Amino acid sequence: MSIRYVESKKLFQIETAHSMYQMKINEIGILLHTYYGEKLGNMDMSYQIPSVERGFSGNPYEISTHHEVSLDLLPQEYTSSGVGDHRISSIDAISNNGSRSIDFRYKCHKLLSSKYSIEGLPYVRAHKDDVCTLEIILIDEIIGLEIKLLYGVFESKDIITRTVELTNIGKTTIILEKVDSICIDFLNTNYDLIHFQGRHCMERQFEQNTLNHDIQTISSKRGMSSHQNNPYVILTELATTEDIGNCYGFMLMYSGNHKTEIEVDQTNNTRLVMGINDDYFRWELEPNSVFHAPETILTFSNLGLNKLSQNFHNIIRENICPIQFQNIQRPILINNWEATYFDFDYTKIIKLAKQALEVGVNMFVLDDGWFGNRNNDNAGLGDWIANESKLPGGLTKLSKDLKAIGMNFGLWFEPEMINENSELYKSHPEWVLQDPSRKPVISRNQMVLDLSNIDVQNYIFKSIDKILEGSEIAYIKWDFNRSLSNVYSNALPNSKQGEVSHKFICGTYSLLERLNSKYPNTLIEGCAGGGGRFDAGMLYYCPQIWCSDNTDPIARLKIQKGTSYGYPVSTMGSHVSAAPNHQTGRDVSLKTRGIVAMSGTFGYELDFDKLTDIDKSEITKQIENFKKYYWIIQKGTYFRLTNNKENSFYEAWEFVSKDKTKILLNMVVTNIKANSEIPRIKLKGLEKHLIYHIEGTKEKFTGAALMYAGYVFSLNIEDYQSFQILLVLEK
Ligand code: DGJ
């Protein structure tokens, strides 16, 4: 087992293939965090903790003559609160007498040979992996609160998962105002923080800052993980690059309000806490009840950021996404959104489907506008009944007719939303999240349904279920097009309104779970105005998520690259759309659009009437190539090959097949220069003494030449030109 407890030293040691994590119970029962990083053998790392007295750092009563023992100075595994640690706390709770003091001490622990699960929330699944669990219980007997710290260890994948469970073992209600899923302390190290910020149409932009003293926060309080700040951060040592150096990744498996706080303290120690955002959060923990926090996923890499990303890619592909989609080729889509927007009828749809079928597409996705009175974005959300004036015979006929021509059928929903102008709103205005004393905030003309209410969940489930039972639907696009405001449930008493944001997202998870269990082979693609809910929580139910509403390939390079730091390309919904692009007006060749979209789940989203025959044969070839490279792209090892600090005019990336015999190298010029320097791209992950040839040519190279000197591209005088070559290992 990869977890050990050394009783004589009161030491817990977790080991993965390339990392070590250590904790120790101190003399007064405080659970210290003593180490996370490179493997160091059997060493009690508590010698690193200084025994130094510092002014204004109080001491626990039972040891108050030892001025050097202070919660303010000790690295801890999960903090107490209000009892002398003046840094960020992992918890904030109020007991019956109004006190906010919580003082956790070690109670007991257990080692289990399987992975824990989390009630009502997504979690990293254990399949056949060598996974085990460590449970440590801390207790505050005065307030009557027990906290179970849970660690799942995926040894061969270099992943540790963490979560906490709080149980009220007292006789009175405890109000939880903050519950982090993880706290981790690093001693005296200078780190950079990498995080992924953005906005609608420009998600997950890489940003790196050096941490200064005090607290930096990465968060969302939009009711969704958000376009603005992804619940994923990296701490890196300052010299770390894509391929060298130490770095740590922390990913929250949660799709609602989240917050990560990183504090550099008075003596340069770094603390990170991550969990549900405490803004808008207040939970009444009644006696004998349990609160489950979302899971966090941790990994350490001593080989830079590419390796760190690959660790996340493996665990997400193999242990988070629904397993049934792991070893099958996902559909190549034609989505009618950018082809027709709301302006379609049966004839247009069938025509587009036939055109797409001819070039090799195998799934037609009918996007927004097929239901209720929805001819624009003013009306209809909530009324999940096909609009027969557009689609005579409804979805049953459409899906049959598509099947008859050999096309699979997929359908768009926005289940959590409602328009004021809808039948649903007329019959159930109380189902909207809305403060009854004021007018709601409207966004994209819509409001949000109260998913914390089981009746609402049942209504949505029944509506979708009825459609899935009546037609053959192999794919659902699950959209979500606004942030939450007026978060107030008419089904809950005033004192429980602080629970609504979390209960909302649990309601969404529960719905997705019901659909996944009844229709395990229906692929659900997540979406939230593009990638506004691109997180590990959604990926538990949806193996792919529409990466962005921005389909411009040049903008997509940055979005997909940013996304790749945490998430594999097999999760990134990516389509070839029209040129000039509808979001940016940029005119980019079909070839480049294809190469960028292929580093994702792939599909098309354009009006085939506007394509020439030459375009259509190019698309046919693109689809053949995508199918040929499918497993290299979807399951191969992904490497970022360009560093924004070194060049600003091209992007390159590579996939190495699992058996290392094939390498797909991609390159796009993003900003051509006159009289340009020559891009020499250094490949990664090759065997240096072996020979590789470029498919379809006589060119041959040693792995060493390609890795250490680079592959040379000859550029044309053309912006946004691109290259895709396959290198094959010589037998
Ligand atoms: C936002 C999505 O991201 C788009 O792809 C499209 O489905 C629209 N919503 C439809 O309203």
* DSSP codes, 280-343: T--EEE-TT-EEEPPPEEEEEESBHHHHHHHHHHHHIIIIIS-GGGTSSPPPPEEESHHHHTT-
Beta bridge partners of 247: 236, 301
Q: Please tell me the distance from the alpha carbon of residue 145 to that of residue 139, in angstroms, as a whole number.
A: 6
Residue nearest to ligand 1 atom 1, measured at CA? 529
- 450-487 confidence digits (pLDDT tens): 999 999 999 999 999 999 999 999 999 999 999 999 99
**Kind and range of the H or E element at 695?**
none
CB atoms within 10 A of CB 287: 13
**Ligand 1 mutation target, pool 479, 577, 605, most atoms within 8 A of CB:** 479
| Smallest CA separation from ligand 1 atom 10, residue | 368
CA distance 419 to 432: 10
CB of 727 closer than 8 Å to CB of 693 = yes
* Rounded Cα distance, 699 and 428, in Å: 68
**What Å distances lie between residue 261 and 252, 326, 429, 605, CA to CA?**
13, 34, 38, 39
Q: What CA–CA distance (Å, rounded) separates 92 from 79? A: 10
For residue 319, what are its two tokens? 């242990």
- Mark 448-487 as b/e (b = at least 16 C-beta within 10 Å): bbbbbbeebbebbbebbeebbeebebbbbbbbbbbbbbbb
Q: Whose CA is nearest to atom 2 of ligand 1?
A: 529
CA–centroid distance, residue 251 to ligand 1 (Å): 26
Q: Which residues of the chain have pLDDT under 70?
A: none
Q: Which residue among 367, 377, 574 has the greatest number of ligand 1 atoms within 8 angstroms of its CB, and so is best to mutate?
A: 367
Within 360-499, where are the H helices?
Answer: 394-404, 423-427, 454-470
Residues 513-560 pLDDT 10s? 999 999 999 999 999 999 999 999 999 999 999 999 999 999 999 999
Give the residue, out of 368, 375, 377, 559, with the most ligand 1 atoms within 8 A of its beta carbon, to mutate for a pocket test. 368
Instruction: Based on the residue annotation, tell me whether 549 is a catalytic residue of this protein.
Output: yes
Alpha carbon of 533 to those of 280, 475, 522, 545, 651: distances in Å? 19, 18, 20, 8, 26
Distance CA 161, CA 166 (A): 17
Q: Hey, do 3-320 and 325-633 end up sharing a CATH topology, with the first three levels equal?
A: no
| Contact partners, residue 291, CB within 8 Å, separation at least 6 | 165, 166, 176, 179, 283, 285
- State whether CATH 3.30.110.60 applies to domain 641-729: no
Atom of ligand 1 nearest to the CA of 605: 5
At which residue do the structure tokens 């998600």 appear?
A: 203
Nearest to 283 by CA among 500, 464, 134, 123: 500
CATH superfamily ID and name for 325-633: Aldolase class I (3.20.20.70)
Q: Tell the residue nearest (CA) to atom 11 of ligand 1.
A: 368
- Residue 216 Cα to ligand 1 midpoint, Å, equals 33
Catalytic residue among 103, 158, 450, 479: 479
**Cis peptide bond upstream of 580, omega within 30:** yes
Sequence-ordered list of residues with C-beta below 8 angstroms from that of 619, at least 6 positions apart, any chain: 359, 360, 576, 590, 594, 604, 611
Beta carbons of 655 and 642 less than 8 angstroms apart: no
Q: How far is the CA of 200 from the centre of ligand 1 (A)?
A: 12
Amino acid symbol at 126: A
- Burial state string for 163-178 with b = 16 or more CB within 10 A and e = fewer than 16: bbbbbbebeebbbbeb
Q: Hey, what are 292's tokens? A: 């489950």
Q: Which ligand 1 atom sits closest to the C-alpha of 412?
A: 7
- Bridge-based pairing state of the strands 258-264 and 214-220: antiparallel
Torsion on CA atoms 643, 646, 652, 656, rounded to nearest 10: -50
The Cα-based distances of 630 to 162, 365, 526, 662, 684 in angstroms read: 33, 21, 21, 12, 20
How many Å lie between the centroid of ligand 1 and the Cα of residue 605? 11
Alpha helical stretches, state H, 24-69? none
Instruction: Give the ligand 1 atom nearest the CA of 528.
Output: 3
- Among 375, 527, 572, 577, residue to substitute to test ligand 1 (most atoms within 8 Å of Cβ): 527
Residue 441 CB burial class (10 angstroms; 0-12, 13-18, ≥19): middle
Site residues for ligand 1, CB cut-off 6 Å: 337, 367-368, 412, 479, 481, 527, 529-530, 546, 549
Exposure b/e, 25-39, CB count within 10 A at least 16 = b: bbeebbbbbbbbbee
Q: What is the 655 CA–ligand 1 centroid distance (Å)? A: 29
> 530 CA to middle of ligand 1, Å?
7
d(CA 316, CA 313): 5
**Which run of H or of E encompasses 68?**
none
3-320 fold:
Beta-galactosidase; Chain A, domain 5 (2.70.98)
Spatial separation of the C-alpha atoms in residues 536 and 545, rounded to whole Å: 10
120 C-alpha vs ligand 1 centroid, how far in Å? 28
pLDDT on residue 1:
74
Ligand 1 atom closest to the CA of 549, numbered from 1: 3
Query: Are 180 and 191 within 8 A, CB to CB?
Result: no
Number of the ligand 1 atom closest to the C-alpha atom of 377: 11
Q: Is 383 a catalytic residue?
A: no
Q: Which atom of ligand 1 is nearest to the CA of 337?
A: 6
Mutate to test the pocket of ligand 1, among 201, 412, 576 (most ligand atoms within 8 A of CB): 412
CA distance 627 to 708: 31
479 alpha carbon – ligand 1 mean position (Å): 7
- Identify the burial level of 688 via C-beta atoms within 10 angstroms of its C-beta, where 0-12 means exposed, 13-18 middle and 19 or more buried: exposed
C-alpha distances in angstroms, 607 versus 218, 341, 344? Answer: 39, 10, 12
Q: How far is the CA of 529 from the centre of ligand 1 (A)?
A: 5
pLDDT given at position 128: 78
Largest separation between any pair of C-alpha atoms in the chain: 85
Q: What is the 3-state secondary structure (H, E, C) of 104-126?
A: CEEEEEEEECCCCCCCCCCCCCC
Instruction: Measure 342 CA to ligand 1 centroid, in angstroms.
Output: 11
Set 85, 158, 368, 549: catalytic member = 549
> Which stretch of DSSP H or E encloses residue 617?
helix 613-635
Domains of the chain, residue spans: 3-320, 325-633, 641-729
